[in-house]
Amino acid sequence: MRERRALPYAMLQSPHRRVLEYTMELKTIIIEKPAEMNFILGQSHFIKTVEDLYEAIVQTVPGMKFGIAFCESSGPALVRYAGNDQKLIEIAQKNALALSCGHSFIIFMESGFPINILNTIKNAPEVCQIFCATANPVEVIVAESEQGRGILGVIDGVKAKGLETDADIKTRKEFLRKIGYKL
């Protein structure tokens, strides 16, 4: 194992300094899921993430079906998983393994939307950040080095095609009422 340590500023300025070079590769990983399925992709910092997120979801929306997978980033570095629906657990496992990014988690759900659980997930003590909460097609931008992999960001859906018109505003408002999010 190579030791990585910070060099004093004077050494960095010296023409005789030893140069340490590391390479990094950028990749995009496509999240594979049924077209209309919602999911949340985030990062946390502790092995108990799976249990805490499981409890948070069932306490917030008891009828929601879900599968969670979490990429451990030390020790055995396994994909840990839980959930209450085998199909969703398997989708989460497959995508987490494809990502293989340390401390990332992914939650797939049915009978509910990310908005129903997002604040609860964000408030879990070990959750550091949420990259996306969507049903859109997603590409995850991943950096891979000799040490491991990390998520840099996501491409969530398609690029904007223009500004909404009055008709688009009406359609948006009707949709929100249809799904019960506005009166």
Q: What is the CATH number of the domain that holds 80?
A: 3.40.1520.10
Which residues span the domain enclosing 63? 30-158
Q: How many domains does the chain have?
A: 1
Q: Is 43 domain-assigned? A: yes
pLDDT tens for 52-65 read 999 999 999 999 99
Assigned token pair, 26: 């950028």
* Mean pLDDT, the chain, whole residue set: 90
Q: Is 143 domain-assigned? A: yes
pLDDT at 8 over 90: no
Length of the chain as a residue count? 183
Assigned token pair, 161: 């095609």
Contacts of 95 (CB under 8 A, 6+ apart): 31, 32, 33, 39, 69, 106, 108
Say what the pLDDT of residue 47 is: 84
Q: Is 82 domain-assigned? A: yes
Q: Is 75 domain-assigned? A: yes
pLDDT band, residue 1 (cuts 50/70/90): very low
Q: Is 164 domain-assigned? A: no
Q: What is the pTM of this model?
A: 0.85
pLDDT tens for 91-139 read 999 999 999 999 999 999 999 999 999 999 999 999 999 999 999 999 9
pLDDT tens for 78-92 read 999 999 999 999 999
